[in-house]
């Protein structure tokens, strides 16, 4: 698939680049996308939720009343889960939500997500650029030049560019990643994927390994 290359000013360069069909033109696998997104979101969870059980509640362990003869149900101590302020039954405990996903499945998921974006014309290629200094207004001007101010955007850089990253990190609905950080969730979540020209080769090498 050939796609036009534009300048950071929004002007056309008159050139086109080819997006490899092995990465941007495969038969999408929806289940692989679902698994990878589920894995990504699970890995974001801290899993630090915790409620106290009856052995962790502060309070007396004295028996509240005699076992028989009161006409009521038997009762142990004040930390009994049936009483207000008592421990919680089967409450949440800290746990790790992450799970293993095979690398080939992850690669398939990323290829599938990129293929969907390519089919829906949601991928743009911008000529390599740089900012002289980290300034948010420069990044906002770039988004306006590309007519993307009302869309969720994902910028894919070939490598870490401090000035560009610092310029765009506080811009709402915009995320910046490098080619080796690209993941299925970010691709699916974005309304427009902007590939910096040099990043295309790196994505091909990353996802098209034999």
The full DSSP string for 92-129 is -----------HHHHHHHHHHHHHHHHHTT-EEEE---
**Helices 103-119/197-207 angle, 10° precision:** 140
pLDDT tens digits, residue range 120-146? 999 999 999 889 899 999 999 999 999
- What domains sit in the chain, N to C, each tagged with a CATH number? 2-46+97-207 (3.40.1370.10), 51-91 (no CATH)
Over the Cα atoms of the chain, what is R_g?
27
pLDDT at 9: 85
Pairwise CA distance, residues 120 & 143, whole Å: 20
- The tokens of 113 are what? 């997500």
Bridging pattern class, strands 2-6 and 153-157: unpaired
pLDDT at 175: 93
Segments in the chain below pLDDT 70:
209-210
Report residue 14: phi and psi, to 5°. Answer: 85, 5
């Amino acid at each position: 698939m050939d796609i036009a290359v534009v300048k950071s000013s929004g002007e056309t360069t008159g050139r086109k680049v080819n997006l490899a069909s092995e990465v941007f033109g495969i038969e999408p696998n929806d289940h692989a996308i679902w698994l990878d997104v589920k894995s990504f979101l699970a890995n974001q969870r801290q899993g630090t939720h915790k409620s106290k059980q009856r052995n962790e509640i502060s309070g007396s362990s004295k028996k509240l009343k005699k076992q028989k003869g009161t006409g009521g149900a038997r009762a142990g101590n004040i930390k009994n889960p049936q009483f207000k302020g008592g421990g919680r039954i089967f409450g949440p405990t800290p746990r790790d939500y992450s799970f293993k996903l095979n690398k080939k499945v992850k690669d398939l998921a990323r290829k599938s997500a990129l293929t969907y974006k390519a089919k829906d014309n949601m991928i743009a290629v911008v000529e390599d650029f740089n900012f002289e200094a980290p300034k948010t207004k420069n990044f906002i001007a770039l988004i306006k030049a590309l007519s993307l101010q009302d869309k969720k955007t994902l910028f894919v850089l070939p490598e870490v560019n401090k000035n560009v990253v610092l310029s765009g990190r506080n811009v709402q609905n915009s995320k910046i990643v490098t080619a080796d950080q690209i993941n299925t969730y970010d691709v699916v979540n974005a309304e427009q994927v902007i590939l910096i020209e040099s990043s295309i080769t790196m994505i091909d090498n990353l996802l098209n390994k034999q």
